[in-house]
DNA sequence: CTGAAAGCGCTTACAG
DNA sequence: CTGAAAGCGCTTACAG
């Protein structure tokens, strides 16, 4: 016989243990919360009885009176995306350290689903919300701010006094990555962006242009193409670049997933990286170290960003938050996918 | 001024909207739940008022009386691990479809943390639990079954009538993978297992031995080494194999992460895959398609396994579960990391 | 169809 | 130090 699907035994409540201990349930409540307002010996006795009877306090009942749930909601576009998986890991770790549990939901980048999910979190009375890399902030800001709970955005700052965020300095990081290519001698550097209009893409693109301008390199619109942030978005974009009369000698990608797709496509075209073409990614997913050649990329401290977001939210909840937007450091990781361009005319 | 960290405005309750609608709060409750016991017109009016006043029902209050939370807890060893990320994605998707939210927690493979996390889920009164690829089932089964809520294990069956599980036929899958190597002509095939004693490892090892036996190939203990399920666990294990007087010509790995580490280490030794050595992984993480060469591997339908686990749990909750252990199909994916062995003596 | 009452499991003033 | 009371926001018999 299967005990698991049997009707749930009613969990023992504070009342039950009050009966056992021959005190009022108020006293039990105090003893369990270690209130100083109860005789140490009876408190001890009560706790022992609670322990023995397998008492487990009811979160829902408690939060009904305390008006908070020690719970946060996190919505990501896709948990299967390694970037988000890492961020969520950091969030969970930091939340857990402070006694919070996390609700996780996928939005699949679908604004409607996103809104549904947020609404369900609202019913569950999460104390706060973390939204990672989506456009929800832009689309539904008013709906969100109406919720009147703290929200922190990861990699998706929104120019508003209503939301908080943690991100890296995207423009600056992209500029640094592009500079690296310039320093190697590349003059025709392509940018493979993301076609969904994320703010991070806009900023990285801006950084790319800045680096070009600094080096007095012309900005060539034909060198800017768009993927979809995933490996399969890269081939068509790369193909367009390769078909140019004067193809680029280096590719700077919006993220590592795009770089991964580009790398594989280049290989399938018989092109070698970095001998024929240099490639730089963005994120430093763990797999960047395992590609062949290992990928030069701009590292985002994803796990730390998750931790920072959770801590910021928790600080907000206890009113001790000091800043509204934290900016994390990015770091260029030099590996083997970049090299000086081949001389054109030996 | 920042509205988010301002004290929370008390959410409008059923009582408040009762006042607005000039009815009792019982009637409001009924109208909101679409009970037939209320006049359609007043019901409509009540709903409109609720809508306008931004009413959002309180989950905690509701579950206090209904005695369930429409919530499930999922604990994974590491959300940053792509296998788990995918499983969690499937769980969340299926749960969401049926109105459930999911609490996610990492155990870091630490039994104590695992237990703490499960206890916190218990306080939050989750309706059920999914535990993915951990030893919690083995270590804490009694503590778990005492919770008296349904639990389903993913890839971690436990020989007990108390738990439910979804998994693949590990032994059979490993046998098939090994057979593929045998069919290519390999006679010295190594197994790089996992050192943590997971049941899945034990089963895959058994399958490997079965395939050897079937082919009348001797089982050589020296050809069995252990990694840690991650890329960095592979190099020492592979090094030991390479140092053998008669090294293997093919490597069958416990999982893709191990294969990834092995691939990279082999490359660093100047060995080519599959020319010098064949390599097969297990899982078919998305990255298996992007290694160089792309990895031959045994696919586990991770997302589907997550969906199946969630559905099984939900079925258990509504008493409609039909099976206790679902077995998902695995599939050998042939790519370019395997080939016939090189002839030893030309 | 509707309302008053009781109760879910807790916390916390209030009054000893 | 302790208990009785009220209340958190809901649902649901029970009695009109």
Q: Could you read off the pLDDT of B309-340 as tens digits, one per residue?
A: 999 999 999 988 778 899 999 999 999 999 99
User: Which pLDDT score, from 0 to 100, does residue B11 have?
Assistant: 82
pLDDT of A198? 84
A2 closest CB neighbour out of B8, B56, B161: B161
B6 and A148 within 8 Å at the Cβ level: the answer is: yes
Set of chain B residues whose Cβ sits within 8 Å of the Cβ of A164: 4
* B71 near A CB under 8 A: yes
Under a CB-based contact definition with an 8 Å cutoff, are residues B233 and B256 in contact?
A: no
| Residue B27: C-alpha distances to residues A167, B15, B24, B51 (Å) | 48, 10, 5, 16
CA of A26 to C1' of D12 (A): 27
Contacts of B1 in chain A (CB under 8 A): 161
Nearest protein residue to the C1' atom of C8, measured from CA: B65
Contact, B39 CB vs strand C, < 7 Å: yes
In this model, does residue B21 exceed pLDDT 50? yes
Q: What pLDDT does B135 receive?
A: 63
pLDDT for the residue numbered A160: 67
Partner A contacted by B121 (CB < 8 A): yes
Mean pLDDT by 10 residues, chain A (346 residues): 38 92 95 94 95 95 96 94 96 97 93 88 96 65 74 80 86 98 98 91 97 97 96 98 97 98 96 97 96 97 98 93 89 98 66
For residue A95, is it left (φ>0), alpha (ψ between -120 and 50) or beta? Answer: alpha
B144-156 average pLDDT score: 83
Question: Which residues in B lie closer than 8 A to residue A55 (C-beta atoms)?
Answer: none
Q: Are A70 and A125 in contact (CB under 8 A)?
A: no
Residues in chain A: 346
A27 in contact with nucleic chain D (CB within 7 A) = yes
pLDDT for B133 equals 66
B4 interaction partners in chain A (CB closer than 8 Å): 145, 148-151, 162-164, 316
Please determine, for residue B4, whether its predicted confidence score (pLDDT) is greater than 50.
no
Q: What is the pLDDT of residue A197?
A: 82
Edge-to-edge strand order for the sheet containing A189-194? A224-227, A189-194, A250-253, A278-283, A296-299, A331-333
Instruction: Read off φ and ψ for residue A21, nearest 5 degrees.
Output: -90, -5
Q: Is the CB of A64 under 7 A from strand C?
A: yes
Look at residue A273 in the predicted model and tell me its pLDDT.
96
pLDDT-derived band at B198 (thresholds 50, 70, 90) equals: confident
What local confidence, expressed as pLDDT, does residue A2 receive? 31
CB contact under 8 A, A122 and B56: yes
Model confidence over B269-297: pLDDT tens digits?
999 999 999 999 999 999 999 999 999 99
Give nearest nucleotide to A46 (CA–C1'): D2
Nearest Cβ partner of A287 from B103, B121, B287?
B287
| Four-point Cα dihedral B56, B60, B65, B69, nearest 10 | 100
Size of interface A-B (CB pairs under 8 A): 180
Residues 6+ apart with CB under 8 A from B106: A89, A92, A93, A96, B75, B76, B77, B78, B79, B113, B117
DSSP annotation string for B181-227: HHHTT---EEEEEETT--HHHHHHHHHHHHHHHHTTPPP-GGGEEEE
Instruction: Write phi, then psi, for A204 (nearest 5 degrees).
Output: -65, -40
| Distance measured from the CA of protein residue A26 to the C1' of nucleotide D4, in angstroms | 9
Q: Which residue of A has its CA nearest to B9?
A: A148
CB-CB neighbors (< 8 A) of A79 in chain B: 79, 85, 88-89, 92
User: Which chain A residue is nearest to residue B85, measuring alpha carbons?
Assistant: A80
The tens digit of pLDDT for each residue in B246-274 reads 999 999 999 999 999 999 999 999 999 99
Higher pLDDT, A23 or B2: A23
Please list every residue in chain A whose beta carbon sits closer than 8 Å to the beta carbon of residue B148. 3-4, 6, 8-9
Q: Supply the pLDDT for residue B6.
A: 32
- Write down the pLDDT at residue B335: 97
A10 CB and strand C closer than 7 A: yes
d(CA B164, CA B167): 10
**Which residue in B92, B150, B164 is closest to A79 by CB distance?**
B92
pLDDT at B162: 65
**For B157-167, what is each residue's pLDDT tens digit?**
676 666 799 99
DSSP-based three-state secondary structure for B101:
strand
Indicate whether B136 pLDDT > 70: no
pLDDT of B204 strictly over 70: yes
**Looking at chain A from residue 301 to 340, which residues have their Cβ under 8 Å from any Cβ of chain B?**
303, 316, 319, 321, 324
In the predicted structure, residue B47 carries a pLDDT above the cut 50:
yes
In tens, the pLDDT along B58-91 reads: 999 999 999 999 999 999 999 999 999 999 999 9
Kindly determine whether residue B290 and residue A2, on different chains, have CB atoms separated by under 8 Å: no
Instruction: Give the bases of strand C that a protein CB approaches within 7 Å.
Output: 1-5, 7-13
Closest CA of chain B from A102, distance in Å: 6
Nearest CA-CA distance, residue A209 and chain B, Å:
30
Query: Which B residues 172-211 touch A at CB under 8 Å?
Result: none
Cβ-defined contact of A101 to B105 (cutoff 8 Å): yes
Using CA atoms, how far apart are residues A254 and A230, in angstroms rounded to an integer? 10
Q: Using a 7 Å cut-off to protein CB atoms, list the covered nucleotides of chain D.
A: 1-5, 7-13
List C-alpha distances in Å: A162 to A95, A115, A187, A313, B54: 22, 17, 42, 13, 19
Asked if residue B65 keeps its beta carbon closer than 7 A to nucleic acid strand D, the reply is yes
3-state secondary structure of B235: helix
What's the mean pLDDT in B142-149?
74
Q: CA nearest B3 in A: which residue? A: A162
User: Residue B1 pLDDT more than 50?
Assistant: no
Q: Do A79 and B64 touch (CB under 8 A)?
A: no
In whole numbers, what is the pLDDT of chain B averaged over residues? 91
Q: What is the pLDDT of residue B324?
A: 87
Q: Is any atom of strand D within 7 angstroms of residue B172's beta carbon?
A: no
A19 CB-to-strand C distance under 7 Å: no
The spacing between the Cα labelled CA in A324 and the C1' in D13, in angstroms, equals 51
Q: What is the pLDDT of residue A190?
A: 98
Cβ of A80 < 7 Å from strand C? no
Q: What are the chain A neighbours of B263 within 8 Å (beta carbons)? A: 290
């Amino acid at each position: 016989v299967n005990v698991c699907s049997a009707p749930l035994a009613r969990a023992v409540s504070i009342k039950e243990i009050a009966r056992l201990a021959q005190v009022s349930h108020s006293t039990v409540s105090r003893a369990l919360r270690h209130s100083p307002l109860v005789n140490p010996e009876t408190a001890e006795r009560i706790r022992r009885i609670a322990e023995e009877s397998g008492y487990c306090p009811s979160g829902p009942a408690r939060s009904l009176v305390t008006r908070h749930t020690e719970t946060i909601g996190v919505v990501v576009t896709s948990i299967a995306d390694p970037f988000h998986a890492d961020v969520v890991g950091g969030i969970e770790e930091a939340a857990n350290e402070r006694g919070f549990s996390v609700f996780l939901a996928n939005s699949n980048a679908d604004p409607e689903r996103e809104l549904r999910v947020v609404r369900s979190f609202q019913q569950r009375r999460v104390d706060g919300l973390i939204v990672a890399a989506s456009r929800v902030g832009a689309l539904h800001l008013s709906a969100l701010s109406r919720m009147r709970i703290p929200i922190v955005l990861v990699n998706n700052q929104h120019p508003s006094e209503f939301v908080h965020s943690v991100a890296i300095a995207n423009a600056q990081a992209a500029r640094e990555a592009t500079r690296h290519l310039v320093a190697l001698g590349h003059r025709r550097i392509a940018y493979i962006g993301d076609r969904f209009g994320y703010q991070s893409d806009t900023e990285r693109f801006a950084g790319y242009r800045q680096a070009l301008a600094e080096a007095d390199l012309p900005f060539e619109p034909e060198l800017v193409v768009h993927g979809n942030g995933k490996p399969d978005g890269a081939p068509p974009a790369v193909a367009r670049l390769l078909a140019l009369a004067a193809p680029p000698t280096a590719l700077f990608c919006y993220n590592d997933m795009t770089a991964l797709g580009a790398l594989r496509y280049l290989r399938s075209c018989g092109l070698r990286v970095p001998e024929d073409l240099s490639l730089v990614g963005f994120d430093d997913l763990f797999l960047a170290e395992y590609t062949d050649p290992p990928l030069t990329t701009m590292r985002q401290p994803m796990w730390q960003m998750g931790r920072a977001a959770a801590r910021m939210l928790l600080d907000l909840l206890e009113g001790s938050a000091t800043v509204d937007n934290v900016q994390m450091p990015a770091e260029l990781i030099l590996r083997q996918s970049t090299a000086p361009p081949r001389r054109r005319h030996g």
